[in-house]
Structure 1
Amino acid sequence: MKKIGFLLFVLLVAGCSFRKPQVDIQKYNNQLLAFQEQSVETLENYYQILNKEYSKLDLEETYQATIQKLQQLITDAETYPGVPDEGFKAGIVAYISGVRAAFMQHEYPTVRLLVNLSGDATEFYRKDSQQISANAMKLQAELAKLDKELDFVYQQFKGKYLTGAK
């Protein structure tokens, strides 16, 4: 009888321990996705500020603050503890790094033009609006590519760790 009781106790403890990692994996999943969402929100905030009135100094500061925020998200995601499978984390880090690189590559020329602007802004926009639009379209295309790559990595992680999770 003691052996059966002990066996039931061991099974109960083992059963409880099997459920806890699922909760930890869900927390891990949620936090990494939060890092990704914050990177997108960081860009949205940047462009919301641009839609308001700004000075040249504010634009440069806002641009640099956006770059720093994205770098901090990369660091936070890289150092976030989690499951032994690092594929999903690497995918999130690659996504945020890609967002940062694309933003720097395609937004910096616009920032440089606006900060160095002298004279009439109307003339500037007439002359350089095509370049600004082209940079925005390139940034959008790179973000769409990053979304697709992250979705692939996430589906692998989800299939391995979250199938049947609630």
Structure 2
Amino acid sequence: MELREQNPFFESAALNGAGLAAAASLILYGAMLLMPGVSGILLGCLGCCGLLFAPGLLTTRQHIATFGENIELGRGAVIGFTAGAVFGVVFSFMDVIWGLLGVNTSALFLDNLTTFIETYGDNEALDNIEDARRQQEETGFSVLGLLFSVSMMGIINMITGMAGTAIFKKKEGEL
């Protein structure tokens, strides 16, 4: 059997995960570029976090609507994890695209975070940010960072995929 026949959700999970990751990256870093400082980091982080939970829910919803049948909790978890893992990969590699456009996303984020903490935080937090900046400059893109992103996004969306099985469950008369 083909992968497509065994996992009919795979294409929608990949498309949803990739599309939402690209949108999250554009919202996060676009807001910081257009509105540097406190408002940029707040708007960017809120928009990005909102999209972070969507791949599992959206893909589960599409699967139930397409096939017209309820799915088990475990199937929702697999669908959500797949969509979240794709989200993590694409979001990580969006840094490469931003780099081609001349934007260092790590420096941009840390600059905005520094402005935020200068406004609302304390000096100890600023010291930690400077340590993080030095460490990031030494390491750059890492496979461990990619694996962390894939696993965290996968786990978060595994949970939202399971939630989607209950939220979008069709009643007996609707099937």
> Into which bin does the TM-score normalised by the smaller protein fall?
0.3 to 0.5
TM-score normalised according to structure 2 size: 0.43
TM-score normalised according to structure 1 size: 0.44
* Rg (Cα) greater in structure: 1
